[in-house]
Each structure stands twice: as structure tokens, then as C-alpha cells.
A and B are shown apart, each in its own frame.
Chain A
Amino acid sequence: MSLTAPIDLGLAILLLGLAVWVIAASATYRAAEGFIAYGLVLALVWVRVGSVDVALTEAALGSGLTGLLLLRAAARLPPADPAETARPGKGVRVLAALLSAILTGGLAAVVLLLPEPAPTLAPAAAASLPATGMGNPVTGVLLAYRAIDTLGESIVLVLALVGLWSLAPDGAWGGRPGALTTAPAGSALRFLAQVLPPFGILVGIHLLWVGADHPGGKFQGATVIAAMWVLILIAGLRRPPTVTSRAMRWLVVVGSLLFVGIGAAGTWLAGAFLAYPDGLAKPLILAIEAALTLSVAVILGLLLAGPPEAECPTEARS
């Protein structure tokens, strides 16, 4: 154990240093870059505390996808004008520092004053796990015990996409999301976008499939699949679909619809909303996960592609 102590200490110092960097960075772009590195180090920390499921999610969604969203946002924002970004007054700053210190102190006190052993629901979760047919307790919690939370998450993603699309100007409605970049033919990026997607899609499906018994799951798998799609879009091999495409809209909602449908069927068949009939828990959970993976992958890709733009400038540019 003593061998790993320096590694843990190094990770903690690196994490705090990156956090300070993200806050202190003067340019938005640099802060976004720092945030990506912060997410990757945080994923390593999650591995060190034994939460591989969380680590995978942090690396895929927290660092990769959110980082890319932030980079795109930073690229679109005009450079900050030092004259316009006036610093808040001293009183406000002191107040903010005070509140932050109280929050940090409170959190530290809560963590340090935990009773030994810390209260946990893990034994209860593990005891009922065989009834769900799942081997990974995290998947059991996400899709059986707390399925309502996961249902809410899947619907929030659809709403986020609706919110993003509402940012489109009237004239652009019906168009495609703007081109991410245009890579010249024969460039290394195009080569990568032609070679990598089969492997990435395989990894995504693998993450979904092993999620039943091992770390992994639909969100991580969907993020990898979405990344492959975005890579193809960035390389210019395919264009994103128009926002009015029926097929694409069905893909966006199929996961949530199936989840709600199976949940509602549980009201009659198993006595409660989102309850699974005896013996059918595993196939139903797998069906929901598969449909959600598809929907989440499409939604994440569309979120990264951005709101639709008017056709004409896109045509002229690409």
C-alpha cells in the first residue's frame, strides 16, 4: 500500500492544480483545455477509489464530450475584451470567497465526521441483485432500484436537444447543423474517420453489453458511438441530417419511449410503474439499455453538431 501513496498524493496535487488552472486561465480556450485534462485525471482518481463505472463515465462524458462542447463554445465566443469584463467589486469578491470557504469547510466536515464504518446501502443493493439478473450492482441501481432517475436523465437529454434546436434562427429551421470543419481530401483526419469507426462502434456495443455484469453501460457505450459519428462529421465524410428528418427524430425518442412504455406496462403486469415482472427483468433491462444507447448516441452527436444553420452559407462553404 505504501507504494501507491505517492501516486495518490501526486494525483490529488495534479487534480487541485488543474482545478486552479481552469479557474485562473485568462482565455476561455485554455480553461476548456484545462477542464479536459482535469476530467481525465479525475477519471484516474475514480479508478483509484475503485469506482470504474464512474471513471468510465467521467472520461467519456465529463471529459471527452463536455470538453468538446466547451471547446466548440469557446471557438464561437468572441475573444474577451478586458475592458468589458470588469472585475466585480471588492465586497462581492470577499462575499464569494467567504461563501466558497464555508461550503468547502462544510463538505470537509461532513466527510471527516462520517461514522466508522460509513453508512451504506451496498449490502442491501447486493442482496436483491439476483432478482434483476444483473451482475453489476451499478447497472442494477440505475435500471431497477432507481430506474425513475435514469428515465428522467434520458428525457432530460431529449429536452436539451430541443433547447439547442430552439436557438436556431427562423430562416435556418429545416436546415442541417453547420459543418464542424472541412478536412481536405487525403488528410490524416479523413483516414482516421474511415478506419476507426468500426472499432469504435464495436467498443461501444461491448461497453453496453458488459455493463450488465462488469463496469460499463449505456451512457459510456453511447458516448463512444457518438464520438465515432462526430469524427465522421468532422472529417466531412457525411453531413449531419436535417432537423426535420423523421427517421432521425424517431431515433432520438425511441429510448425514452420504450422506457416509458415498459414502465407503464409494469403498472399492470408487476403492480407498480417501472416495476419488472418476475423473471423478465433482465431481457427488459437489456432492451431498454439497447434502445437508450441508440437514442443517447444520436442525441449526443446532434448536441455536438449544434443548431441548424441556413442551407445557403453551408453550401457555399463546403
Chain B
Amino acid sequence: MMAAQDIFTVATVSLGALFFLAGTLGLLRFPDTLTRLHALTKADNLGLGLIVLGLLPQVSSPLGWIGLIAVWLLALLAGATVGQLLAGAVRPSTGTSAHRGDPPA
């Protein structure tokens, strides 16, 4: 039983690490900011999600599960927001009224 949990952890965490590696490669090699952002957010969302998923069987307390999942959800929220902001800064023309001086409605 223990062994099955450990195998699951090793497999999912390794897969998560692979996504981080791929995301880093994309960050270094992709041609422009938007595609680099795409690579980065994939690493955050999927890579971190798989690592959290893999670590869940290693934690015995329900509070620990909630903590791990909260870390992933907060990273998702932060990653998605920062991705939007960076993309908006790179391509201000495609935003609806994304000029910095515009009055907030």
C-alpha cells in the first residue's frame, strides 16, 4: 500500500518537473513575449498542479491537503493575472481601453 503511494508520488512529481523543464525551455527559446508567457503559465498550472497532486498522498492531515491545494490555486490565480497584465502591456492596442491614463469606469 505504502509502495503504491510512493510510486504515484514519484511518477506525478517527475511529470510535474518535466513540465517545469519544458516551460523553462520555452521561456528561453520561444520567439516573442506572448509565446514565452504561454510556456510559463503551462509550467505553473500543470507542473505545479502535478507536483501538488503527487505530494497529496504523502500528507496525512486534511489541513495539509487544504494547504497544498490552496498553494496551487493561489499560484493559478497569480499566474493567470500576471500573464494577462504582461500580455496587455506588450500589446496595448488589442486591449479595449487599456491605456493607462483612461478614467476607470
Contacts and interface: CB of A to CB of B under 8 A. Distances in A.
Interface of A: 181-189, 191-192, 195-196, 199, 236, 317-318
Contacts of B90: none
Interface residues of B, number: 20
Nearest to A235: B104
Contacts of A181: 100
B8 to A, nearest CB: 21
Interface of B is mostly: loop
Interface stretch (B25-33, B50-58, B81-89): B81-89
Contacts of B80: 188
Contacts, number: 43
B77 A187 contact: no
Contacts of A199: 70, 74
B101 interface: yes
B97 interface: yes
A236 B104 contact: yes
B86 to A, nearest CB: 10
Nearest first, the 6 closest Cβ-Cβ pairs linking A and B are A188-B84, A185-B105, A192-B81, A188-B81, A185-B104, A184-B97
Given A187-B88, A188-B84, A191-B81, A317 B101 contact: yes
A189 B105 CA distance: 15
Contacts of B98: 184, 187
Given A187-B88, A199-B74, A182 B81 contact: no
Nearest to A190: B104
A318 B103 CA distance: 6
Contacts of B101: 182, 317
A196 B79 CA distance: 13
B81 A189 contact: yes
Nearest to A189: B85
B100 A182 contact: yes
Given A183-B104, A185-B105, A188-B84, 13 more contacts: A181-B100, A182-B100, A182-B101, A184-B104, A187-B84, A187-B85, A188-B81, A188-B88, A189-B84, A192-B81, A196-B74, A199-B70, A236-B104
A184 B103 CA distance: 7
A197 to B, nearest CB: 12
